[in-house]
Structure 1
């Protein structure tokens, strides 16, 4: 194994240890997830990877949902799941892409047009496949082709105005901006949106005070489509900042500087718009660059903006994603400024109501409204990246009106009704992990693993039930209060927040398009593949700005294992030294020099080790490259025919 032209630094762990409870539970979870993956794929896919489902699906919505339902096959492989998951996840991605091309939502292997709430969800699968590596020429070619749809370099997808640094519509994709939607585009959502408020206060026939809008009423529906085409579907919105994930993905495949520059330039454009608007980010920018160009000058009223039912969540979430992506690509913590400023601006508007501190979630024609408890997880994401006191203060200023240490078992991919936590993709324990990594929740590893074990069991029961049998699914657009196309997410047993948090040392990705940022990741040196070797458990115990403390445990008494630890999910950090620690946290032996992004640890049968890995963070350009040479990474991209064609016509 090589580390930047030299032999990779290597440590041996020879001291046998009795596996702690967390280590045994991790192995149980890996084993159960491997079996669950096989059963899940067998229940819901054909041998070619296509999904067992209805024969047609209209409208522009939907391609993100099957990707979401199966994306964790790839992420499980990245963590150390069965080797067969590599081929299975790739086959299913290809099959879903083909199937939804036939339904009509995908064109040129990318969503024809939809928003970056849904693009962000669906292309998590693509980002996980990047981590799964090794990259193929096809992976690299796709990443560049998809990125060019947003850089202004694809004439068939003119989504981006280079001069104004502006994505030209909230509805965008491989066919370019969708300035005018049809009634068919929104057809699959009508029954669900009956329970949502109207996008504007002045839609004829709608009682805005009721908080509901009858999308199922044909006349109201026509009025809604007309209003959205007039005011909402042209120009840029903050949600489009989620596109920075796609460009970062292309950069990590290619190292192409233009992709990094695009991310920073586009983020800077939104910083300037926020400054022009007095410090509050506007949610609609016209095609000329003017704030509120199609909304009578109002800075609110855009697609998934301040007036939208999700409110501040769909403002701060893409901001957080974009700012974190910019730090990843540049190493500059100042790139977090815009997300920080909007958290602060929202906090400055707070008011106390019945003893509770509330902040506004929405803004409409009548000002700030929909007062709610402050969102805790977004400053946690910023702090995990920055480790800065100012971000810690943004967390600690939020009143502790509930137990931050409490571990929950999510019951739906949405929101936990009791705690108010977002549980999209069954991610619900960012708060107690934050408490643990700061030393305030010592029982967390066992608690989250127990909860995750319970979640997998519940999901398997649901999948095996009559409700989970695809033969019993009716052809239609929605079942109860959710779209029928969400069914795979709700039946999927492959949720493992515990493994991501405990082994990688970071919160689970942001569900709507966030990259899986974390402090470390692992490779199996003997199998030369991503993930922990069989029988090896890992626990990141503590993080500081310049170190990570972790344990490795080989639970097998019969097999020697070698694990490669990488500094950062994308190799963005550099290990400086590795210090063995005793159970009393005192150093043992002299620290080993590393001075690189990889460290190999040989674990004798039954052996364990505790290490403090000192590091410099965000000093390497992020990449999907692993510890071993990948011949495909140096292959040139293929060039297609010119627009003029290939010679004289046949006669």
Structure 2
């Protein structure tokens, strides 16, 4: 695809001045600005309680004796850059950078990082750890330190890198654990030397390999000799070759490409994604493993399933689906168009074909603890269940569909076939898609159904309900933080992410028109994003609330409100997180004639309005919101029509002035 290149000199950036008085501010707008205020208090409280004032690292005096754990340190801050991008406090971004620097030094001292990057671990977890880094790059592309890091990190996966992570002949990442140490064979001493039965956290996921001689059930691992046998099979079979979750590395390379559009980065992303597409086409299914010679099933009896963090163990479609979405979206960003979304469709279609109706509590499922709070009182009803994993005995581990994956597939390309997939998911769900349930897991996602119902016009109360829910989440975590008495040697590394009081899912949905970022390594995407023109920084200006109320393949609806009684606010609306969408037209409501308030009127005025419009053919437009005014916009768009790029607010100002 050839990207459209709008001529910035052909016409000035359109400027729209709101003229409709907001005589009674919408409740959602008032709640949204209160949420920003509470989040500003909340992140500071977490910082003061859990981080070292000297360099921003987490207060932790324990040891880590295996490869696991680095991601947990960064996950405590995973959505803080996103809050800044949305309009969080000015000093939040410097704080986030400081925490990244401090945590990176901390992990280097703990032996998990080298050259500021993971020494070698799976990309299910590396993707989680990198959300904070990607957010910093998107929030401040002008920071040369992070630009150099982004390029250096991505170089580790190119064909000619001394790290040797990638084999250009077979188009594989050579091992499931990879990073700054290059290919890192095995899964680490905690499992290579023996996979024993006394692991309560792993027991729900069952046997890592189902065809190890003499081991047919979990309790067999209580035998030390059999535990060692399993560990050696894991080392020699799961610990080498490529695995589907390595597709998340494409976001790392795409993030680097967004800076300078180095064609080497784009070529690697496309080649690696296409290699997996070709394997899937040959198999008739999305495979999860490729042996060292480039052959699917090489270490698994010819089977397309069984690889590390793949279809059989431990998470199935939860890991494979996320990785294929990250890979497909990365490839579409660097190339334009939507053809490569077929990579992400295949695993979702595979589990959809096995669907059945059942009651969750009656199922042998590994993630009931996540689903029961999400479904609330409807958890006991017959609902649509999809098997999430497949092994030598067939499909198993049924769960409700993880709606975020179908949502992302539809959202990114707005293709009719993916709308049909989403409609089928909703129609078969068996539970109320409009209900806003007060839950939050570490991914801070799961409220896609009521949001989608709102966008389709059947859940008009969602903006108010969702903001109230988010405010409740902040208060709950502040209470947990206040009650926490654990010391710095606490060994539960998940503690920080459970107590992180920053919540951004609702703000991301409602202000940018995007689902919450894919937790296992997705880039920070948006249908629209904002720059504060007066402060020359990203995010909504003070007092301004935003609501994306319509999403289509060629249109976006946006409602902006200035709650200030005295201050005019100016902002830039950009199409796409990285300027990748083209705004073709803008329509908005204006007063039909100038309205002069009369102090003798007892009723609030309802001025007559008319529609205005302007041709745009650019990525951005400027908005002026006088005090007490609001603006309803309908933007015509062409999605993914422009070449995506990291652009700072000040750079945009120079380009559009």
**After superposition, what is the alpha-carbon deviation per residue over 1:237-273, rounded to whole angstroms, capped at 9, x for unaligned?**
1111111111110111221122122112111101111
Of 179, 182, 201, 2:185 maps to 179
Q: Name the counterpart of 1:488.
A: 496
1:625 aligns with 2:634: no
1:274 aligns with 2:280: yes
Q: Name the counterpart of 1:638.
A: none
Distance 1:606 1:137 in 2: 39
Q: Name the counterpart of 1:369.
A: 396
Q: Name the counterpart of 1:409.
A: 438
Q: Report the CA distance between 1:195 and its aligned residue.
A: 4.5
Of 389, 396, 419, 2:423 maps to 396
Preserved contact between residue 82 and residue 504 of structure 2 (Cα < 8 Å): no
Q: Report the CA distance between 1:153 and its aligned residue.
A: 3.0
> Where in structure 2 are there 5+ consecutive unaligned residues?
1-5, 360-381, 592-605
Preserved contact between residue 59 and residue 186 of structure 1 (Cα < 8 Å): no
Following superposition of structure 1 onto structure 2, how do residues 429-508 of structure 1 map, counting pairs within 5 Å? 429-465=447-483, 468-471=484-487, 474-476=489-491, 484-508=492-516
1:35 aligns with 2:41: yes
Q: Report the CA distance between 1:393 and its aligned residue.
A: 1.2
1:258 aligns with 2:274: no
Q: 1:563 to 1:199 in 2, by over 3 A?
A: same
Q: Name the counterpart of 1:162.
A: 168
Q: 1:8 to 1:341 in 2, by over 3 A?
A: same
**After superposition, what is the alpha-carbon deviation per residue over 1:270-313, rounded to whole angstroms, capped at 9, x for unaligned?**
11111221x11222111111111122222221101121131122
Q: Report the secondary structure of 2:558's partner residue.
A: strand
Q: 1:377 to 1:176 in 2, by over 3 A?
A: same
Q: Report the CA distance between 1:197 and its aligned residue.
A: 1.0
Q: Report the CA distance between 1:558 and its aligned residue.
A: 1.3
Q: 1:454 to 1:318 in 2, by over 3 A?
A: same
**After superposition, what is the alpha-carbon deviation per residue over 1:162-184, rounded to whole angstroms, capped at 9, x for unaligned?**
12211111111110111234424
Preserved contact between residue 197 and residue 213 of structure 1 (Cα < 8 Å): no
Q: Report the secondary structure of 1:397's partner residue.
A: helix
Q: Name the counterpart of 1:122.
A: 129
Q: 1:569 to 1:161 in 2, by over 3 A?
A: same
Q: Report the CA distance between 1:451 and its aligned residue.
A: 0.5
Of 198, 205, 211, 1:196 maps to 205
Q: Give the stretch that moved more between structures: 456-465 or 223-232.
A: 223-232
Of 398, 405, 428, 1:378 maps to 405
Q: Report the secondary structure of 1:485's partner residue.
A: coil
Q: 1:523 to 1:220 in 2, by over 3 A?
A: farther
Q: Report the CA distance between 1:49 and its aligned residue.
A: 0.5
Preserved contact between residue 588 and residue 631 of structure 2 (Cα < 8 Å): yes
Q: Report the CA distance between 1:55 and its aligned residue.
A: 3.7
Q: Report the secondary structure of 1:628's partner residue.
A: helix
Q: Report the CA distance between 1:522 and its aligned residue.
A: 0.4
Q: Report the CA distance between 1:345 and its aligned residue.
A: 3.0
Q: Name the counterpart of 2:292.
A: 287
Distance 1:85 1:451 in 2: 23
**After superposition, what is the alpha-carbon deviation per residue over 1:115-138, rounded to whole angstroms, capped at 9, x for unaligned?**
010011010111110121142222
Q: Report the secondary structure of 1:192's partner residue.
A: coil
Quote the RMSD (CA, aligned, Å): 2.6
Q: Name the counterpart of 2:63.
A: 56
Preserved contact between residue 141 and residue 147 of structure 2 (Cα < 8 Å): no
Q: 1:581 to 1:370 in 2, by over 3 A?
A: same
Q: Name the counterpart of 1:647.
A: none
Q: Name the counterpart of 2:325.
A: 320
Preserved contact between residue 44 and residue 51 of structure 1 (Cα < 8 Å): yes
Q: Name the counterpart of 2:370.
A: none
Q: Report the CA distance between 1:191 and its aligned residue.
A: 5.4
Of 304, 315, 320, 1:310 maps to 315
Q: Give the stretch that moved more between structures: 593-602 or 456-465.
A: 593-602
Distance 1:364 1:558 in 2: 64
Q: Report the CA distance between 1:428 and its aligned residue.
A: 2.1
- What TM-score results when the alignment is normalised by the length of structure 1? 0.88
Q: 1:106 to 1:218 in 2, by over 3 A?
A: farther
**After superposition, what is the alpha-carbon deviation per residue over 1:495-539, rounded to whole angstroms, capped at 9, x for unaligned?**
121111100011111111112222100010000000000110000
Q: Name the counterpart of 2:369.
A: none
Preserved contact between residue 114 and residue 180 of structure 2 (Cα < 8 Å): yes
Preserved contact between residue 564 and residue 628 of structure 2 (Cα < 8 Å): yes
Distance 1:508 1:631 in 2: 27
> Where in structure 1 are there 5+ consecutive unaligned residues?
414-423, 477-483, 634-651
Following superposition of structure 1 onto structure 2, how do residues 117-156 of structure 1 map, counting pairs within 5 Å? 117-155=124-162
Q: Report the CA distance between 1:220 and its aligned residue.
A: 4.8
Preserved contact between residue 580 and residue 587 of structure 1 (Cα < 8 Å): no
Of 24, 30, 35, 2:30 maps to 24
Distance 2:563 2:636 in 1: 26
Q: Report the CA distance between 1:51 and its aligned residue.
A: 1.1
Give 4+ residue runs of structure 1 displaced > 6 Å after superposition.
185-189, 630-633
Following superposition of structure 1 onto structure 2, how do residues 55-94 of structure 1 map, counting pairs within 5 Å? 55-94=62-101
Q: 1:392 to 1:629 in 2, by over 3 A?
A: closer
Q: Report the secondary structure of 1:600's partner residue.
A: strand
Q: Report the secondary structure of 1:515's partner residue.
A: coil
Preserved contact between residue 573 and residue 615 of structure 1 (Cα < 8 Å): yes
Distance 2:188 2:547 in 1: 51
Preserved contact between residue 77 and residue 85 of structure 1 (Cα < 8 Å): yes
- What TM-score results when the alignment is normalised by the length of structure 2? 0.87
Preserved contact between residue 387 and residue 396 of structure 2 (Cα < 8 Å): yes
Q: Report the secondary structure of 2:503's partner residue.
A: coil
Q: Report the CA distance between 1:401 and its aligned residue.
A: 0.3
Q: Report the secondary structure of 1:562's partner residue.
A: strand
1:594 aligns with 2:610: no
Q: Report the CA distance between 1:202 and its aligned residue.
A: 4.2
Distance 1:383 1:425 in 2: 20
Q: 1:407 to 1:357 in 2, by over 3 A?
A: closer
Q: Name the counterpart of 2:3.
A: none
Q: Name the counterpart of 1:96.
A: 103
Distance 1:112 1:589 in 2: 57
Distance 2:542 2:421 in 1: 40
Q: Report the CA distance between 1:488 and its aligned residue.
A: 0.8
Corresponding pairs, count? 605
Preserved contact between residue 137 and residue 632 of structure 1 (Cα < 8 Å): no
Distance 2:206 2:244 in 1: 20
**After superposition, what is the alpha-carbon deviation per residue over 1:61-91, rounded to whole angstroms, capped at 9, x for unaligned?**
1111111111222111111010000100000
